[in-house]
Amino acid sequence: MGSTRLPNLNRVMIVGNLTRDPELRSTTTGVPVINFRIASNRRFKDSGGEWKEDVCYVGVVAWQKLAESCSARLKKGSAVYVEGELRSRTLDNENGSRRSMIEIRAHHVQFLDKGDKPEDETKLSENTEYPHSGEDTEDYLGE
């Protein structure tokens, strides 16, 4: 049997509202990182024709200048468009058990709430390198 080579594609686009205030921290080397959770709603009609709503909760992590900008502009309830990639990680709980989670590593965040900022400041992208593995990415896992 021949092997099929799949393209490398890992891209996520989602719109939602923050479920709580974001948490800005720094790694031991001083790299800013922020974590927040969003709720994304989907409305649909069921087989009986009635409107239903489904909610998907997903974690988001952003690094460096993007993290700092998100910290300054976002709070619980803020509406955002997030574009990035899915990342998985494993956490060790206090009781010694391991837990796996999938989150979005944000590359682009657009603030959707109307505010007093100019239009060009509502769209932010990560243009700098961020840690991919090693000490910096493990250091911020304070959950």
What pTM was estimated for this model as a whole? Answer: 0.76
Give the model confidence (pLDDT) of 47-80 as tens digits: 999 999 999 999 999 999 999 999 999 999 999 9
Quick check: 124 and 106 in contact, CB under 8 A? no
Three-state DSSP state, 76: coil
Give the model confidence (pLDDT) of 98-143 as tens digits: 989 999 999 999 999 987 454 444 555 665 444 444 444 444 444 3
Three-state DSSP state, 139: helix
Using the predicted structure, report yes or no on whether residue 31 has a pLDDT greater than 60.
yes
| Mean pLDDT of all residues in 4-30 | 94
Cα separation of 50 and 32, whole Å? 45
